[in-house]
Amino acid sequence: IAGITQAPTSQILAAGRRMTLRCTQDMRHNAMYWYRQDLGLGLRLIHYSNTAGTTGKGEVPDGYSVSRANTDDFPLTLASAVPSQTSVYFCASSDSFRDRGHNEQFFGPGTRLTVL
């Protein structure tokens, strides 16, 4: 693995189904983030994790949950998908402990999710 990866690349999902988006990084970054990107709204933070074992809510957390069991993985779960969760989801990571958080976030390639 080189950098940050996401799976699946795309998914069509029936409303009400449970779905987990996967994110893995091999850069040993302490911080990881999930964003959703909708046309005209930019990227909005869903959840974040500053270190393994801790998570926090972002701007739009409702309907989503995350876990951070180890440094490398940060899965995002939709417990019961709804059409308004149709979006492109980006995972990102950063070495936020270095230089007081003034650090580049590296983004994964994204997952395009359609909820019907």
Partner 1 sequence: GENVEQHPSTLSVQEGDSAVIKCTYSDSASNYFPWYKQELGKRPQLIIDIRSNVGEKKDQRIAVTLNKTAKHFSLHITETQPEDSAVYFCAASRRGQLTFGSGTQLTVLP
As a whole number of angstroms, the distance between CA 50 and CA 52 comes to 7
Q: Of 11-19, 64-72, 77-85, 108-116, which segment contacts partner 1 by CB under 8 A?
A: 108-116
Task: State how beta strands 10-13 and 111-115 pair.
Answer: parallel
Q: Which residue has the tokens 């009400």?
A: 16
Q: Are 25 and 4 in contact (CB under 8 A)?
A: yes
Q: Which of 59, 69, 80, 84 is the binder for partner 1 (CB under 8 A)?
A: 59
3-state SS assignment for residue 99: helix
CB of 15 to partner 1, least distance (A): 26
* # of chain residues touching partner 1 (CB under 8 A): 25
Q: Which of 108, 111, 113, 115 is the binder for partner 1 (CB under 8 A)?
A: 108
The CA R_g of the chain, rounded to the nearest whole Å, is 13
Our finding on whether 31 is near partner 1 (CB under 8 A) is: yes
Task: State how beta strands 111-115 and 87-94 pair.
Answer: antiparallel
Our finding on whether 45 is near partner 1 (CB under 8 A) is: yes
CB of 17 to partner 1, least distance (A): 26
By the criterion CB under 8 A, which residues form the site for partner 1? 31, 33, 35, 40-45, 48, 50, 58-59, 90, 94, 96, 101-105, 107-110
